[in-house]
Every structure is written in C-alpha cells, then in structure tokens.
Amino acid sequence: MRLIGPQHSELWAEVFAELRKLIVLGELVPGQRLVEADLAQRLGVSRGPVRTALSELARVGLVELSSRRSARVVSLTTKDVAEIYTVRSVLERLSLQTADHEDVRAMLPELSEDLDALEMALDEGDRSSATEADLAFHRNIASIAGNGRLLAAWDMQADQVRLVIGWVQRHDPTVAAKSGEHRAVLEALQNGDCDRACAALEKHLAASEAVMRAGAARLWSQSGRSPTEEGHP
C-alpha cells in the first residue's frame, strides 16, 4: 500500500486514518508493537508522517507511547472499559439534562434516522455498520446541548469505544447493539420526558458496559492474564 500526499502536513493525516482503521478493525492487535520503519515501508511513506500519526493516535487513546519512543496498540483492561462507559454515561446524561427543549425536538429526526440505520444493519447482520449507527445515535445525544467541550470530551472516547466493541465482537459474534434499548431513550425524548430518557440511557449504557466488560474479561483470561491487570497481553 502506498499513501499519496504532497506534504508532510497533509500526509500524516492519511497515515493516521489508515492506522486508525487497521487498529479498530483488528489488523493491528492490542499489545502489538508498532515500529516506525516497518509502518513507513508498509504504507509507502517516510518515517516523519508515521511518527506524527502515532502521536495523534496516542492522543485519542489507541496507541501507547513509551519513554523510549516505542509504540504499541493500546490494550484495554476491564477497568479501562468501566472508566470509558462511566465517562460516556456522565457526558450523555449531562447533555440531555442541559439541552433546551427546542434543541431536543430539532434532533429527534436525526436520532430516528440513526435507529433506522441501526435496525437495518442488525437485520442484515452487518455488525460494523450497526456499531457506526449506534455510535452516531450516542454522539447526537452528546451534541444536543450544544456544548462544544462536552462533545469534544465524548469524541475523545469514541475510538476506544469502537476498539472495545470490535475487539469483543471479533471473538464473540453474538455481541451486537440492541435497538430496543435505544428506542426507549428516543420515545422518552419524543414525549418530552427528559428524566425518563436519562434513566433509559443510563440503563442501556450499564447493560452495554456489562457485556463489554465480560467480553474483555474472557479475552484477558484466554491470554493468561488477569482481566484487571495493567499492561499488555
């Protein structure tokens, strides 16, 4: 593969996007060492854009950098999964609680489209598209309040959520989003009941966290390490 770009300032973003995809899709696995020279050769670029891309991947939580300038794909423990879902729940509930009624009403058609896309993907057995529709729904929840800093904090978690979901689904294909739990949130918002929407959202995310933590624990067990142990498998 060769990535084409005239300048480093543009090329590193292409490298970032490609490496992000490889990590989320599992072609670069948790704990795998990332060598700049090898990645540069694989992508047909110089080491500079790769180094910049790795720094950005570390910023969004997909790569771990050491003091020796080495890099690895992040390995998320069950504790990490719990923290990620706690942050998601707090941010999404805060968005609903601080949003204006009119802002909520304006977002309803888009939320409904997200769930239509989710249900279609589930019917077709397309787990990747289902995950993207699921996350689109939740990102729209996080954006309702119009709080840019809140949304930026949510976005910082998004790639790690994709990584966890993809990681668990690859080892257990039965794990998938449940549209009914999302519908309960949407119906409460359609009825103007923010408290019920927050309760439904919290219940849904708690159930999702439990599934992902259990899946992560199984994977850590298969690797011969404790699911709460820090470090690499």
Count the domains in the chain. 2
Domain of 42: which CATH number? Answer: 1.10.10.10
Alpha-carbon gap, residue 56 to 210, rounded angstroms? 29
Residues 106 and 171 in one domain: yes
Residues 195 and 102 in one domain: yes
Q: What pLDDT was estimated at residue 182?
A: 93
pLDDT, tens digit, 9 for 90 and up, residues 45-59: 999 999 999 999 999
Residue 27 belongs to a domain:
yes
**Last-in-domain residue among 55, 73, 91:** 73
Alpha-carbon gap, residue 195 to 70, rounded angstroms? 47
Closest CA to 57 of 108, 20, 10: 20
Closest CA to 206 of 121, 122, 74, 93: 93
Residues 110 and 140 in one domain: yes
**Last-in-domain residue among 73, 100, 124:** 73
pLDDT, tens digit, 9 for 90 and up, residues 2-36: 454 445 568 999 999 999 989 987 888 888 999 99
pTM of the model: 0.81
Alpha-carbon gap, residue 189 to 186, rounded angstroms? 5
Domain of 158: which CATH number? Answer: 1.20.120.530
Residue 2 belongs to a domain:
no
Residues 137 and 202 in one domain: yes
Residues 16 and 85 in one domain: no
- The parent domain of residue 132 ranges over 78-222
**Last-in-domain residue among 73, 91, 126:** 73
Query: For the chain, how big is the Rg over CA atoms in Å?
Result: 19
Residues 32 and 143 in one domain: no
Closest CA to 138 of 185, 69, 101: 185
Burial of 131 (0-12, 13-18, 19+ CB in 10 A): buried
Residue 227 belongs to a domain:
no
Alpha-carbon gap, residue 98 to 114, rounded angstroms? 22
Residue 131 belongs to a domain:
yes
Residues 62 and 162 in one domain: no
Closest CA to 115 of 63, 43, 60, 189: 189
pLDDT, tens digit, 9 for 90 and up, residues 159-197: 899 888 888 877 776 666 677 889 999 999 999 999 999
Calculate mean pLDDT across residues 104-123.
94
Residue 218 belongs to a domain:
yes
Residues 170 and 191 in one domain: yes
